[in-house]
Structure 1
Amino acid sequence: MKKLFCTLLAALLCAGAMAMPAAAAEEEMIVVNDDIQVSADYDWTRFADQGITLNVYNWGLYISDGSDESVDVLSAFTELTGIEVNYTTYDTNESLYAKLKSGGADYDVIIPSDYMIGKMINEGMLEKLDFNNIPNMAKIGEQYKSLDYDPNDEYSVPYTWGVVGLVYNTTMVDEAPTSWDAMWDEKYENSILMFNNSRDAFAIAAKRLGMSMNPTTVEEVNTIAEELKAQKGLVQAYVMDEIFDKMEGGEAALAPYYAGDALVMMDENPDLGFVIPEEGTNYFVDAMCIPAGSKNKEAAEMFINYMCETSVGVANCDYIGYSTPITDVWEQLPDDLKYSEVAYPSAEVLANTEVFSVLPDEINAAMDKAWSDMKSYSEGGSSWLIPVALVVAVAVIVLLFWSRNRKKQREDY
């Protein structure tokens, strides 16, 4: 089913986006500023006098925020609606999940990835959406709807999509890599960056081994973990947003990352390239959701609807580089982004991708343990030496202190 989905998606992309209906082109608009215009056929001001603040929790560097001459879509939302936005960021799906699961978080809008959305749906952590408040769901391309993680489109609205590939520095790598094997090549020792989250890291090692990135047994998890242990001695650092400074600054030769962010890095450093390894990779969709118990659900739905306005979608995708699920947003993107093989890969590439599925609790637990063990592992199986060495050091210090005191006592005597 996933292979079929990706094939259909590729065909739809290659056929081009659907033409925007003539009625939409003539739609009356509200002008917020020079860059943001929204549909006038929506009551944007119904919460203006209620003093509402929305807590929005998103990935880092994942919205057009006014920096680097980009459009500040959040301030435009406040100007339009009177609703303030408290915007904070996280770096992995797992850290988002942990914060929500702890019960200490109070968010109104979150933007997780597909598999994490499915997990949170299963655990009752998300609100069902009222699409009367989100009419812009109609702008989302059909290929991004009714996907496995939210089959009835009840809990989420797609925000972006993309693939994972390999970013490389052409001044440090002789030829463009074609395989994930490059991430295990000893000649790049201490010049390799790796994902600092278990799901993406395990996926890369699994693909290198010719396995699915959705393990079905604990044994498969352990096999993949051994591959990551074998790589660890070559890795300079495990990173998420830190990758921008390191790759843009020429501090590493190779790093796997998301295609949208790769475009940003390549724009900052022309020495960088991007490839999709021949073994295949992950295809993902990130979507907007409302956590269960949100105190501002209708206002949150207004925010989600706003994020799907065409001008807002163009501002976001133009700034962050990620691929859009909104048909008329794609039509209005600059040609260098609209026809980028990084942001919008070929049908052949998309057909060789795999979607993360929601893993059983047993597999999730095994992956968490294996990831923790791998991160504390020292090459050669000697991770146990570190705590032992500490114990020995403490014992030596205590012995020396005791001997000195004994000597002093004898002298005093």
Structure 2
Amino acid sequence: MKKFLAALIAILALCAGLAYGSDQLTKSTGDTGNKVLNLYNWGDYIDPSLLTKFQKETGYHVNVETFDSNEAMYTKIKQGGTSYDLTVPSEYMVEKMKADHMLIPLDKSRLVGMNHYGHSFLNKSFDPHNKYSIPYFWGTLGIIYNDQYVKPGSLEHWNQLWSKKYRNDIMMIDSARDILGFSLISMGQSVNTTNSAELIRAKDKLNRLSPNVKAVGADEIKMYMAEGEAPVAVDWSGEASEMMSQNSHLHYVVPTEGSNMWFDNLVIPKTAKHFKAIYAFLNFMNQPKNAAQNAEYIGYSTPNMSAFKLLPKATQDDKQFYPTQNLIDRLQVYSNLSPQKVQEYNDLYLEFKMHH
């Protein structure tokens, strides 16, 4: 997903350990007793003060362990050994874990507050009827530009990235699905296509974009953009939010023809043991006041519409991170592809990077 460098994750995990006590779980500690909840989460992806509040209200202590990719989380849970009660996969990984029988269905009779979630964020293709997952945060892929170099309003469509005026100007997130995805969207295709001819055309079109690509990277994009060293980037909305907080000349645009809409979700893995604590925590996070506090701390978009109404008006009105329903309807969610098709995406993406 879309978070932080491994080194930063390690630092955050260390800080979490200092803040929460015995947060770094092992096979022999942290997973016994009835007054604990073992949460396996992305780094710095929950307001620490909410964990303190939860413990005070319920008496359940939250042990936190962090991961830096969906795949790392999947592998750790698949291997077993640690009894995680909750984890936070992205949409395609929910689908994969469900198919691999790694999740426990939600007991809807024990959930309170599901009515707070917007219809656009429920019953998605990766988990019909939310049998296994509760939406946690969501976001988009889009274009970040610096108004000192790019005229506002001149980058509203993916195809405009191919303009010769952006030669050697564009930073791009290092992600096969995202980069091939926006090329596919620019040609009116699905981000989940399994048609090899369409994928090759998308890669060939990316090859023609190469002269405009300054670099393909990850966290360093934030530094380049924040310091004004690159005029344009293709990156995720949460990363854009962080960049924009450091440079007032930066703006985020979701192209009008659509983009990827991603979801991170709370799920119960098969390793779970502490079900009273699990449902106490889920219901706690469903509360609008708590969800709003978490959204303000994290900076990503909340799917909890009652929480959304509690956010500052400037945040509510920010169409960069809370787009109109009309645009939301044009956003596409990634499906879990077969291992063979994932390899095909990765191989074509590697060819593009080598061409660049």
Shared fold (TM-score, shorter chain, > 0.5): yes
Report if the CA contact (8 A) 1:55-1:106 is conserved. Answer: no
Counterparts of 1:290 and 1:269, CA distance in 2: 39
1:173-227 Cα shifts (integer Å, max 9, x gaps): 2343122234444543443221222221221111122322111223322332333
Report if the CA contact (8 A) 2:37-2:85 is conserved. Answer: no
Q: CA deviation at 1:314?
A: 0.8
Given the superposition, is the C-alpha separation of residues 137 and 102 from structure 1 closer, same or farther in structure 2, using an over 3 Å criterion? same
Given the superposition, is the C-alpha separation of residues 193 and 301 from structure 1 closer, same or farther in structure 2, using an over 3 Å criterion? farther
Aligned residue in 2 for 1:331: 309
Q: Which moved more, 1:102-111 or 1:360-369?
A: 102-111
Letter of the 2:291 partner, please give it: G
Counterparts of 2:66 and 2:164, CA distance in 1: 39
Matched, 1:52 2:36: yes
Letter of the 1:56 partner, please give it: Y
Detail structure 1 runs of 4+ shifted over 6 Å in the superposition.
none
Given the superposition, is the C-alpha separation of residues 111 and 230 from structure 1 closer, same or farther in structure 2, using an over 3 Å criterion? farther
SS of alignment partner, residue 293 of structure 1:
coil
Counterparts of 1:100 and 1:230, CA distance in 2: 41
1:322-358 Cα shifts (integer Å, max 9, x gaps): 3322232122111011122122212332233222233
Matched, 1:209 2:182: no
Given the superposition, is the C-alpha separation of residues 370 and 49 from structure 1 closer, same or farther in structure 2, using an over 3 Å criterion? same
Counterparts of 2:269 and 2:204, CA distance in 1: 36
SS of alignment partner, residue 245 of structure 2:
helix
Given the superposition, is the C-alpha separation of residues 53 and 223 from structure 1 closer, same or farther in structure 2, using an over 3 Å criterion? same
Instruction: Please list every run of 5 or more consecutive structure 1 residues that lacks an aligned counterpart in the other structure.
Output: 1-46, 66-71, 380-413
SS of alignment partner, residue 323 of structure 2:
coil
Q: CA deviation at 1:89?
A: 3.8
Matched, 1:149 2:126: yes
**TM-score scaled by structure 1?**
0.69
Report if the CA contact (8 A) 1:78-1:85 is conserved. Answer: no
Report if the CA contact (8 A) 1:214-1:359 is conserved. Answer: yes
Counterparts of 1:251 and 1:159, CA distance in 2: 33
Please identify the structure whose Cα radius of gyration is greater.
Answer: 1
Q: CA deviation at 1:137?
A: 2.5
Letter of the 1:111 partner, please give it: V
Q: CA deviation at 1:298?
A: 4.3
Aligned residue in 2 for 1:166: 143
Aligned residue in 2 for 1:350: 328
Given the superposition, is the C-alpha separation of residues 134 and 249 from structure 1 closer, same or farther in structure 2, using an over 3 Å criterion? farther
Letter of the 2:91 partner, please give it: D
Aligned residue in 1 for 2:178: 200
Counterparts of 2:305 and 2:131, CA distance in 1: 20
Q: CA deviation at 1:170?
A: 1.1
Counterparts of 1:123 and 1:249, CA distance in 2: 44
Aligned residue in 2 for 1:115: 92
Given the superposition, is the C-alpha separation of residues 132 and 311 from structure 1 closer, same or farther in structure 2, using an over 3 Å criterion? same
1:217-252 Cα shifts (integer Å, max 9, x gaps): 233223323333443454333334443333222232
Letter of the 2:46 partner, please give it: I
Report if the CA contact (8 A) 1:163-1:283 is conserved. Answer: yes
Task: Write out aligned runs for 1:218-257 (5 A).
Answer: 218-232=196-210, 234-257=212-235
Counterparts of 1:105 and 1:223, CA distance in 2: 44
Aligned residue in 1 for 2:243: 265
Report if the CA contact (8 A) 1:73-1:312 is conserved. Answer: yes
Q: CA deviation at 1:169?
A: 0.9
TM-align CA RMSD: 2.9
